[in-house]
Structure 1
Amino acid sequence: KDHNTENQKHYLIAGFRGTVPHGLSLEIGDTVQILEKCDGDGLFLSKHFIFQGIFPSNYIHLKNACVKNKGQFEMVIPTEDSVITEMTSTLRDWGAMWKQLYVRNEGDLFHRLWHIMNEILDLRRQVLVGHLTHDRMKDVKRHITARLDWGNEQLGLDLVPRKEYAMVDPEEISITELYRLMEHRHRKKDTPVPASSHHLFVQMKSLMCSNLGEELEVIFSLFDSKENRPISERFFLRLNRNGLPKCPEKPERHCSLFVDLGSSELRKDIYITVHIIRIGRMGAGEKKNACNVQYRRPFGCAVLSIADLLAGDSKDDLVLKVYMCNTESDWYQIHENIIKKLNARYNLTGSNAGLAVSLQLLHGDIEQIRREYTSRFTHGVSITRKLGFSNIIMPGEMRNDLYITVERGEFEKGGKSVARNVEVTMHVVDSSGQILKDFISFGSGEPPASEYHSFVLYHNNGPRWAELLKLPIPVDKFRGAHIRCEFRHCSTKEKGEKKLFGFSFVPLMQENGRTLPDGTHELIVHKCEENANLQDSGRYLKLPFSKGISLGNNSQAVKTTKESFWITSFLCSTKLTQNGDMLDLLKWRAHPDKIAGCLSKLKEIDGSEIVKFLQDTLDTLFGILDENAQKYGSKVFDCLVHIINLLQDSKFHHFKPVMDTYIESHFAGALAYRDLIKVLKWHIDRVTEVELHEHIQEVLKAQEYIFKYIVQSRRLFSIATGGQNEEEFRCCIQELLMSVRFFLSQESKGTSALSQLQAVFLSSFPSVYSELLKLFDVREVANLVHDALGSLPTVMHGDESLQAVKLQSIGKTVESHLYTNPDSRCILLPVVLHHLHMHLQEQKDLIMCARILSNIFCLIKKNSSEKSVLEEIDVIVNSLLDILLRTILEITSRPQPAGSALRLQFQDVTGEFVSCLLSLLRQMTDRHYQQLLDSFNTKEDLRDFLLQIFTVFRILIRPEMFPKDWTVMRLVANNVIITTVLYLSDALRKNFLNENFDYKIWDSYFFLAVIFINQLCLQLEMFTPSKKKKVLEKYGDMRVTMGCEIFSMWQNLVLHLLYILPSGRGVIDMNS
């Protein structure tokens, strides 16, 4: 009994010599296709689909497969994961070549390839098991393809086009898409993408010094010597008496990652500063029993330039020299003195003193770094941020950090003969007088504390500390809270008392919700000698607190005092504001008389304040619009435009999705569309008024989101009213777009301002299509867009920048969802091709033209036989085929630019145009070719076309047309060329024989055929067995096909041999 098993593929798991009658000799790993299965152990089969024979059935392992193109050129494709198929065939090819590396004594590559092959085999096993998660499988495939590509490149094999780690079938995608995949992989191989973000990894090892014996605090930060300020928070850790990290069981406290350093921070004037504070006696040389109280005292400082790390990016430990200032009062600026090399102000703390640290600059995304440096992040690493917000503020980022720098103080002697030893103690106190627990952070690496103690400077009534603290106080505890700083004299006597002599305080928020403004504040020092007097905060909060500012009702007369205390505050909050104008705007209902002023001042408010309260601000604007559109409509529109354009800034770009969410989920202005359309049309109608150009430009930049609000408002109105006033709305949109068409149709006549406005409009006009599609059907929107783009002046001698932007707008139109729909594409295609033809005619903006054409053809798949697609090909052939051929001839005849970047750009545009031509020719059917040939009015026109296309084909098969390893692209190009030549052969026979014989065109034809056959990429004998098999399955031997065609055409020229033979064009081997 026989069984049909044609759709099954088998692999040999044991060798078979094939010594029986009709036996087939096979080796382990050979692939066979079962043609027929018989009772017993015999199988009829084929090996490499050429030899047939029988062998025992238990010698094979079954794999399912599908058969395409049954017959002479049938392809058997396994149904397994394509990555597994590629690994199998590639390793088989590498195996033979790997042995030759040993023979040729290429030992280095031999061993490296051996390791890579084993690694691929291990990864292959993981994929075959199939127990990987989706993300892990993706990661494994990425590793596999990276190793396959490396090996192929080392062995001089072909570049493999891939999409999401899987090989693509060049027959299943357009040729332009294939070219883009090849070009992207080729460029990616040559040009690595530079990292945009950088991070500094710091690990504290030890402090080496002979005179230790006390515990230490080490504080790292980044300092900008150009602007003379710190740019990062602090990394804080404690050392024991031996100079080693105090908590060895918590390695995460020994290291930190300074994150989000931009390229601007990687320069020579950025320094890593390290301040070391000792915990112990007032004087380092005092006896141990002299005092039981411990103080924070200056010990030493070290600095290192970021530039030193950039030079080597070393992972080795560094030993930094530790210096101490000569005069203790200079401690606050010791790092500046070291950077400036003011040697007279500091000395080494000891001849053998050194701080051992490990520093490394890491580049890339933080998550990527965590994956690549897993050993560093095993136990967790503290994160040290830049001061304030990062360069890019992310939506959803929740922060409420108040940075306080304890700057300096001016104190009296207090009846003493010598100056005081002043220590500052800071607390955060709530509205009930209770000290808030754990809201004072000394730096990353150390848990927050409830109080802060400054270091003590010996006998100094004007101490300078410059210590930075972070107070991460929650928003709900901010109102009513205040900071209290207590000042104590630290005695050096045996008892070591710390005696209170005064205090200062500062509230964090006004009653109206405005927070303590950023900047330096001079606080009043109030006399106080009893701790009990500080228990009742209600009493002292009635006192004045500052000589410079007043918050709320605290405005009592300031008493004359010679003592002052200075702090600097800086708020980094996503919830609180220091801006009074913003508060007035958000509370507009309480002060309706201030609305006009608040709207006018919105543009002066810092952008970070606006995005913090984005939803509240938008609610306010549309609330005012609903309340009195006639009075405030224009001002609200201007404010909306300002906010929309604010989000174009790279710093706030990530807030666009926040606005999108607001429009979709929170926006409630059902009547707003009327006023928005009215004011937008008013601006467009006045584009010729020069004094308004700058303002109108801002409006046109914001048109995408203005239309989003218009559309959403109309949808809300329709839902609420059941679709009332639909016709009125359509008329409004038609009138608006009529104004747009008139505006676009204006020629600048030497006025660059008008063309600049047109350019601004065109650059964002395509973003409006998707919004219009929410209210109108695709054909309506396509007609509106067609009319708008069709109204553009057709002259090409105008403003060149406008012409470029116009073409970019056409390009965005082709990339839009509107164009991908066949119903709308047939309306848009003529106007797109019209503008392309104009630019190609003038040979201008060729790069953009090539990109647009590529996108057009990417939508057209090879096997698409839909009526709409066939009609599109008709239009493209009539409009662009001739100009496309001329463009390729023009750009390939130019000398290549000298610079590498320009040369790469030149090759890109040439390759894109070639891929577009090949895509068009492959898509053409018998009918298209017949219509093309019939369209020539005279034989002279047909002759010129044939000579032109044969010349282009000779250019396409030059070895330098594509990179050496682009065999896939070359084979596709050759397949298109030979198919086209077969179509055009009939035109030669019908029109240029007998009395119409034309030597030049026949000579061009045979010359093309000869160099086609002799191409290296078609010499199958030079290929590996697997590559030869794939080419034969997909294309057959194209040399044979062309040879047969040459023979056929030659037979038609028997009567004209006298014209052909003298040319000596070379020998044509009919057997090739």
Structure 2
Amino acid sequence: MWTLDEREVIAGFRGTVPHGLSLEIGDTVQILEKCDGWYRGFALKNPNAKGIFPSSYIHLKNACVKNKGQFEMVIPTEDSVITEMTSTLRDWGTMWKQLYVRNEGDLFHRLWHIMNEILDLRRQVLVGHLTHDRMKDVKRHITARLDWGNEQLGLDLVPRKEYAMVDPEEISITELYRLMEHRHRKKDTPVPASSHHLFVQMKSLMCSNLGEELEVIFSLFDSKENRPISERFFLRLNRNGLPKCPEKPERHCSLFVDLGSSELRKDIYITVHIIRIGRMGAGEKKNACNVQYRRPFGCAVLSIADLLAGDSKDDLVLKVYMCNTESDWYQIHENIIKKLNARYNLTGSNAGLAVSLQLLHGDIEQIRREYTSMFTHGISITRKLGFSNIIMPGEMRNDLYITVERGEFEKGGKSVARNVEVTMHVVDSSGQILKDFISFGSGEPPASEYHSFVLYHNNGPRWAELLKLPIPVDKFRGSHIRCEFRHCSTKEKGEKKLFGFSFVPLMQENGRTLPDGTHELIVHKCEENTNLQDSSRYLKLPFSKGIFLGNNSQAVKTTKESFWITSFLCSTKLTQNGDMLDLLKWRTHPDKIAGCLSKLKEIDGSEIVKFLQDTLDTLFGILDENSQKYGSKVFDCLVHIINLLQDSKFHHFKPVMDTYIESHFAGALAYRDLIKVLKWHIDRVTEVELQEHIQEVLKAQEYIFKYIVQSRRLFSIATGGQNEEEFRCCIQELLMSVRFFLSQESKGASALSQLQAVFLSSFPSVYSELLKLYDVREVANLVHDALGSLPTVTHGDESLQAVKLQSIGKTVESHLYTNPDSRYILLPVVLHHLHMHLQEQKDLIMCARILSNIFCLIKKNSSEKSVLEEIDVIVNSLLDILLRTILEITSRPQPSGSAMRLQFQDVTGEFVSCLLSLLRQMTDRHYQQLLDSFSTKEDLRDFLLQIFTVFRILIRPEMFPKDWTVMRLVANNVIITTVLYLSDALRKNFLNENFDYKIWDSYFFLAVIFINQLCLQLEMFTPSKKKKVLEKYGDMRVTMGCEIFSMWQNLGKKFKKIHMVIATSLFCRQNMYFHLFKEKKGKKMYYIR
């Protein structure tokens, strides 16, 4: 019984039985027959040796057969990554032993470790118990190690798609080139990460005069702007200078996240402030008092630039300094950074803070995957102050940052200054203290109250301590912050005596929250704690200098004492902007609508995106109420919001607007006003005073069309499709205005050409909306007319031409172009513009990219009948200009700069891959039509000379990098296929009385170079590589050699006219291959006499 199967040997077999086949563990065998516990077949490593072997020695593997026949391939149906690992490790095994023989010990040991690591990862994949995300990570690690080993051993670059090897026959050559180029560029120039994170781990504080508990506070400080840029990481140390809670190591470290590249500069510093908990004076007797105070101890700083060189995780010991004058404590880190040595000194000769620091690169999710152990135990996260550079939709934050700045107090009848401690509470509307809403920093759970450190005998203390108050939105209204001031006695009782308080409400009655900035608060006299229990008694008092609430005339006992705080709100739910509140409450004050709409552009973008849905509801509500009066203003506000989302800081909110349009938008009549106002603007593009505003309108056209389409859809649902004809007429008139606007020509750069460029850059984004109104053919015709109305490349300024080509590129990448019906309509206008640009040799990079996308799409849809017609159009329009373009760019000298040289190589490779893709897609009919299209033999002769010259260029060694064997083999396969088609034209048109020496000379010269290519010398390949090449392409030298023999025989006596150097080199080289040709040709070989 005959079968065809692929299996793996699980036990060695010596093959000592008659007709036995010797096998080793791990060999892959192909089964031809099976009978009574025995198989007959061959090992893939030596397919010529066939024999029998026991079936019990074999493990079955599922496989499929491709290209059945002489060159059939049996391919395992297992995961392609496993297949690649298996074959690669076999190749490495042989080369690894050679490394030992050549005494390359370092690479020998490194490769051995990598091979073992790959084997371990292979086991994990085979077991199949990995989650989807973990499987992706494992495959990423596997392919990274395979690529490293291949590079070290000088093996070929493997094109991959999502970690799996790609079959070059299954994808277009342009896509293959992009994959190869991406992997080559990734290997040479790794892309720098845009996000960075700082890992901080506290080890210990080394100091001789410890004995009290300590607080260590880390933060990032911008010395250029003189402000902190991060929250604080808070850590407690015991009396020995070691972290408390040693059983919880996650409490000893933190990750400062979302640092942009702008934060990695020399004027960003890691600052460490150390506070001791204990007696007022470090030298006091232990029993002097039982009250504990927070007192300054020391400070250390480190420039983040010091970490950039090595990203080291080695322990660092930072010097700890103490200020000479305690009143300078608030700025000790600044003095150390500025090296004002007179203001600080070392806390001790052997004092030092041992920490571990490491910079990590990549987005936070990538860090979580790569450093899973770091997050397993719940490491604390320290965020940047405020929002990150990019605000994400759905991000819920309501953090109020309060910096306790300074105070000015009287002596209070004492001969010396006070020792002032500030106690802060957050009190709700009922007078109850809110529990656990004051955060000292990450790494420490929130508390219900805050105690400042105490400066000895100082009536003007400066603290500069940053706190975070994560108060829920529902508790903001009616709540306030209360700061109580106490004098801390150094006497034996150690009393903390209340002498005053300040307060500040978190929200005003109109809904505005406490504005950002510094606030000078009034210090109210108070000596009894009981007076503070009923908050209603003091909330009627003024809280800030110059601010009085209501008509309260109650006298303030003193205004000489003041207390300063700085507030900063980071909230996705609350606003401090009065104009925003007025707009959202427009129904309350209808007389203010016009003013509110005018002021919208002045409101900060972060405030608008926080209330995006409410703001949009407000705008369309106003439009429904009075479109005649406010239609234009609402349109301008909508344009402003849409363009706001183009900002990189807010572009993640585009999905929020999309969701709003699809699920929440209710303006069924809005489309009328939107179409009318949009057309009004486009009809006035030539009016100079409006051009700047029209430019903003054109930038927003994508979302304007989305609102128009959704509005019309809602109207149709509500009315059963009424006024459909009227709506279509409005859209047609609008698009007629667009076509007229695009057809306007202007000499050189002008405001009009800038407007055309702005329109074209976003016009392709409108296609998907038009498809909701019309079928694909109608939309394709509309787009064809719009693009066809554009001026030619020889007119207008160059920037407009570049944008025009980009618009065509987006059209090719759009969903509209993937449909065969619309693609056939659009293809001629796309090719027309490409032809014009290539003819002028302008914007070659963009032209190459567009052509690449066209051929990628054609390959994906190669089974469709329409593709054959598209190939016809492309051949007629672009083949000639494509050949000339390659000849032109390859004849130029390479640029000197590395960036320009890479760009030059990219554009050359793109055009070459486009030509190869086109030739591979051409069928017999296409080649015949091409050859028949030449009206004279002279035109055919020029074409053949041109394409032979291009082929000689393509097979130059420097055309592709050394390790791009896959690309070279594909190119050679296309070249030899094309040459076989063209050989017939050569025989028919240029023999006998029409013999043309130059064209025959060019043909044979190409053939010699082709056969002599290093990448075709199969004898130099590893056995597995040779087998793969033969299975896929055969020996292309043999094919070309047979064709050479046939063509040489056709020459007859004319061969003497072929240059003897070419003939000699041809046949001397071919002597070694003639024995291969004999079997194939079955005839006698003739030599030059």
TM-score range, shorter chain: over 0.9
The structural deviation recorded for 1:751 is 5.3
Cα shift readout 1:5-42 (whole Å, capped 9, x = no counterpart): xxxxxxx44455556665545444443333333467xx
Match of 1:272 in 2: 270
How far 1:539 sits from its partner (Å)? Answer: 1.3
Deviations 1:729-768 (A, max 9, x none): 1111111111111111111134511111111111111111
Partner of 2:36: 39
- Supply the distance in 2 between the matched residues of 1:1013 and 1:310 (Cα, whole angstroms): 52
Deviates more, 1:617-626 or 1:209-218: 209-218
Q: Per-residue displacement from partner, 1:147-176 (whole Å, max 9, x unpaired)?
A: 221221111111111111111111111111
The CA deviation at 1:260 is: 1.1
For residues 15 and 477 of structure 1, the distance between their equivalents in structure 2, rounded to whole angstroms, comes to 76
Question: 1:447 and 1:66 mapped to 2: Cα distance?
Answer: 61
Query: Which sits farther off after the overlay, 913-922 or 421-430?
Result: 421-430
Choose 970-979 or 453-462, whichever is displaced more: 453-462
Deviating more after overlay: 859-868 vs 137-146 = 859-868
3-state SS of the aligned residue for 1:755? helix
Change (3 A) 1:1021 1:571: same
TM-score, with length taken from structure 1? 0.94
Structure 2 residue aligned with 1:393, among 391, 394, 412? 391
Deviation at 1:840, TM superposition (A): 0.2
| Partner Cα separation in structure 2 for residue 862 and residue 626 of structure 1 | 48
SS in 2 for 1:716: helix
| CA spacing shift, 1:269–1:549, aligned 2, 3 Å | farther
Q: Which runs of 5+ in 1 are unaligned?
A: 1-11, 1059-1072
How far the C-alpha of 1:595 sits from its partner, in A, is 0.3
**Distance of aligned partners of 1:472 and 1:551 in 2 relative to their CA distance in 1, 3 Å threshold:** farther
Following superposition, the deviation at residue 315 of structure 1 comes to: 1.7
Query: Secondary structure at the residue paired with 1:99?
Result: helix
Q: CA RMSD in A?
A: 2.7
Query: 1:56: Cα distance to partner?
Result: 4.3
* Contact 1:790–1:831, Cα closer than 8 Å, also in 2: yes
Q: Is the 8 A contact 2:271 2:301 kept in 1?
A: yes
User: Sequence identity, in percent?
Assistant: 97
Contact 1:763 1:808 in 2 (8 A): yes
Structure 2 unpaired stretches of 5+: 1-8, 1049-1069, 1078-1089
Greater Cα shift, 892-901 or 415-424: 415-424
Q: SS in structure 1 opposite 2:500?
A: strand
Deviates more, 1:509-518 or 1:355-364: 355-364
Q: 2:755 aligns with which of 748, 754, 757?
A: 757
What residue is the counterpart of 2:121 in the other structure? 123
On the 8 A contact 1:31/1:48 being kept in 2, the answer is no
Call closer, same or farther: CA 1:854–1:765 in 2, change over 3 Å. Answer: same
SS at match of 2:376: coil
Q: Return closer, same or farther for 1:486/1:58 CA change in 2, 3 Å cut-off.
A: closer
- Residues 379-402 of structure 1: per-residue CA shift (max 9 Å, x gap): 322111111111111111111111
SS at match of 1:440: coil
Q: Which moved more, 1:930-939 or 1:793-802?
A: 793-802
Given the superposition, is the C-alpha separation of residues 554 and 700 from structure 1 closer, same or farther in structure 2, using an over 3 Å criterion?
Answer: farther
- For the 8 Å contact 1:796–1:803, the answer to whether it is kept is no
* Residue 373 of structure 1, CA deviation: 3.1
* Stretch deviating more after TM superposition (233-242 or 934-943): 233-242
> What is the Cα deviation at residue 314 of structure 1?
2.6
Over residues 310-360 of structure 1, what are the superposed CA-to-partner deviations in whole Å (9 max), with x where a residue is unaligned? 234332222222222222222211222222222222222222222222222
Contact 2:541 2:549 in 1 (8 A): no
Conservation of the 8 A alpha-carbon contact between 1:176 and 1:915: yes
Counterpart position of 1:9: none
Where in structure 2 are the equivalents of 1:299-318 lying within 5 Å?
Answer: 299-318=297-316
Q: Distance in 1 between the 2:960 and 2:338 partners?
A: 57
The answer (yes or no) to whether the contact 1:216–1:239 under 8 Å persists in 2 is yes
Of 963, 966, 975 in structure 2, the residue corresponding to residue 965 of structure 1 is 963
* Residues 562 and 28 of structure 1, relative CA distance in 2, 3 Å threshold: closer
* Alpha carbons 1:625, 1:632 under 8 Å: kept: yes
Matched, 1:14 2:11: yes
Query: 1:421 aligned to 413, 419, 426, which one?
Result: 419
Return closer, same or farther for 1:257/1:581 CA change in 2, 3 Å cut-off: same
Moved more, 756-765 or 159-168: 159-168
- CA shift in 2, pair 1:21/1:523, >3 Å: closer
Cα deviation per residue 1:935-981 (whole Å; 9 max; x = unaligned)?
A: 11111000000000011111111111111111111111111111111
The 1:651/1:553 distance shift into structure 2, 3 A limit, reads farther
Deviations 1:757-795 (A, max 9, x none): 111111111111111112211111111111000000114
When residues 254 and 36 of structure 1 are mapped into structure 2, their CA distance, relative to the original with a 3 A threshold, is: closer
User: Cα 1:988–1:602, aligned 2, differ >3 Å: closer, same or farther?
Assistant: same
From the superposition, tell whether residues 601 and 347 of structure 1 become closer, same or farther in structure 2 (CA, over 3 Å). Answer: same
Deviates more, 1:615-624 or 1:770-779: 770-779
Which runs of structure 2 are paired with 1:28-177 in the superposition (5 Å)? 28-38=25-35, 48-177=46-175
SS in 1 for 2:234: strand
Q: TM-score, normalised by structure 2?
A: 0.93
State which drifts further: 244-253 or 864-873: 244-253
Aligned mates of 1:75, 1:624 — CA distance in 2: 70
Displacement of 1:376: 3.7
Structure 1's 24 and 252: CA in aligned 2 closer, same or farther, altered over 3 A?
A: closer
Q: Deviations over 1:689-726 (max 9, x none)?
A: 11111101111111111111111111111111222211
Name the CA distance, whole Å, in 2 between partners of 1:865 and 1:1053: 42
Distance apart, 1:797 and its partner CA: 3.9
Q: Deviations over 1:380-435 (max 9, x none)?
A: 22111111111111111111111111111111222222222221111111111111
Note if contact 2:1038-2:1073 (Cα within 8 Å) is conserved in structure 1.
no
Query: In 2, distance between residues paired with 1:561 and 1:47?
Result: 96
Q: What is the distance in 2 between the residues matched to 1:389 and 1:961?
A: 49
For 1:961 and 1:552, the matched residues in 2 are separated by 83
Using a 3 Å threshold, how does the CA distance of structure 1 residues 715 and 49 change in structure 2: closer, same or farther?
Answer: farther
Asked if the contact 1:522–1:548 (Cα under 8 Å) also holds between the matched residues in 2, the reply is no
Per the TM alignment, residue 132 of structure 1 is displaced from its structure 2 partner at its CA by 2.1
Is the Cα contact below 8 Å between 2:403 and 2:565 reproduced in 1?
yes
Shift of 1:506: 0.9
Q: 1:62 Cα deviation (Å)?
A: 2.8
Conserved? CA contact 2:1038–2:1076, under 8 Å: no
Q: Is the 8 A contact 1:36 1:44 kept in 2?
A: no
Give the count of matched residue pairs: 1045
- Is the contact made by 2:27 and 2:43 (CA closer than 8 Å) also made in structure 1? no
| Cα deviation digits, residues 235-258 of structure 1 (max 9, x gap) | 112222222222222222221111
SS in structure 2 opposite 1:29? coil
Residues 46, 52 of structure 1: 8 Å contact kept:
no
Q: Report the alpha carbon displacement of residue 44 of structure 1 after superposing the two structures with TM.
A: 8.8
Which position in structure 2 is the counterpart of 1:903? Answer: 901
Superposed counterparts of 1:541-940, under 5 Å: 541-549=539-547, 561-750=559-748, 752-861=750-859, 864-940=862-938
Could you tell me whether the CA contact under 8 Å between 2:28 and 2:43 is conserved in 1?
no
What is the CA-CA distance between 1:52 and the residue it aligns to?
3.8
Whether the 8 Å CA contact 1:510–1:551 is kept in 2: the answer is no
Report which stretch shifted further, 680-689 or 719-728.
719-728
Assess if the C-alpha contact under 8 Å between 2:199 and 2:254 holds in 1. yes
Deviation at 1:865, TM superposition (A): 4.5
Given that 1:507 and 1:551 are in contact with CA atoms closer than 8 Å, whether structure 2 keeps it comes out as: no
Tell me: CA distance 1:335–1:947, structure 2 relative to 1, closer, same or farther (3 Å): same
Change over 3 Å in CA distance of 1:966–1:83 after alignment to 2: same
Distance 1:523 1:555, change over 3 A: farther
**Contact 2:63–2:76, Cα closer than 8 Å, also in 1:** yes
C-alpha contact (below 8 Å) 1:319/1:357 kept by paired residues: yes
Q: Flag the 1:189–1:1055 CA change in 2: closer, same or farther, 3 A.
A: closer
Relative distance call for 1:608 and 1:549 in structure 2 (3 A) is: farther
* Residues 529 and 15 of structure 1: CA distance in aligned 2, closer, same or farther (over 3 Å): closer
Equivalent residues of 2:420, 2:454 under 8 A apart: yes
The 1:554/1:106 distance shift into structure 2, 3 A limit, reads: farther
Using the TM superposition, give the Cα deviation of residue 48 of structure 1 relative to its aligned residue in structure 2, in angstroms: 4.5
Output one character per residue of 1:275-316: Cα deviation in whole Å (capped at 9) or x when no partner: 222222222222222222222222222222112222343322
Q: Greater CA deviation, 955-964 or 791-800?
A: 791-800
1:451 and 1:236 mapped to 2: Cα distance? 16
Q: 1:422 to 1:129 in 2, by over 3 A?
A: closer
Q: Contact conserved, 1:479 with 1:508, CA < 8 A, in 2?
A: yes
Cα distance in structure 2, aligned partners of 1:107 and 1:210: 50
Deviations 1:1048-1071 (A, max 9, x none): 11199999999xxxxxxxxxxxxx
